[in-house]
Amino acid sequence: MIPLRGATEIASRLELSAADTILLVEPPAEFEAVVTAALNDGQALRSVEGRAIRSVKGRFALVLVWQESRVGSQAVLATALKRLAPGGFLWVATALRKVSGPKTPGGHRLDLADLEKAFGRSGLVRDREVRLSAWHVAHRFAAKPTTGGA
């Protein structure tokens, strides 16, 4: 069981209401329940296991990958990126390094440097961070803002 923050706080900080389509990859059951409860009419939610993400067709305005371990993470992250709609946001929830609650040992946990390396080549930059629980944080990646030149 993951001690999540309040459901309203999570939905608000992740800006779930702004996305018409949401893809959750490998979410814990309690987190999926929070997202499902926050959905409005007209919003579509799809949830898949990490190994099944390649079977997902279409693009989503918001993609959230729950990935604690480095093992196999690059393939999942690369495929999740392909499912992101233009102008959409990609969130990756990871376990904090120096906490003792998550399943994955600290040395094997995915961290921000891994994520920045994975998405740097695709033109995405981290622009926000949201604490989901005492043990987990989600990093949001979005397209680099364009600067207008004369």
Beta-strand relationship, 84-95 and 136-143: antiparallel
Structure tokens at 135: 């043990």
Question: How far is residue 37 CA from its own chain's centroid?
Answer: 18
- Rounded to an integer, what distance in angstroms lies between the CA atom of residue 39 and that of residue 122? 29
Helix, strand, or coil here: 35?
helix
Asked if the structure places residue 1 within a domain, the reply is no
CB-facing half-sphere around the CA of 19: CA atoms within 13 A: 31
Give the predicted TM-score (pTM) of the model: 0.87
Total residues found in the chain within this entry: 150
pLDDT the model gives residue 150:
47
**Structural domain contains residue 150:** no
Measure Cα distances from 61 to 3, 20, 41, 117 in Å: 27, 6, 16, 22
Task: Quick: pLDDT tens for 54-98.
Answer: 999 999 999 999 988 777 788 899 999 999 999 999 999 998 766
In a domain, 79, yes or no: yes
Rounded CA separation 16/62 (Å): 8
Q: Count of domains in the chain? A: 1
* Amino acid residing at 25: V
**Which residues of the chain register pLDDT less than 50?**
150
The CATH number linked to 52 is: 3.40.50.150
Percent helix / strand / coil, the chain, rounded to 5: 30, 35, 35
The answer as to whether 148 is a domain residue is no
| Residue 121 DSSP symbol | T
Q: Which structural domain range is residue 15 located in?
A: 7-143
- Domain membership flag for residue 2: no
> Closest Cα partner for 86 from 108, 60, 109?
60
For residue 10, which amino acid is it? Answer: I
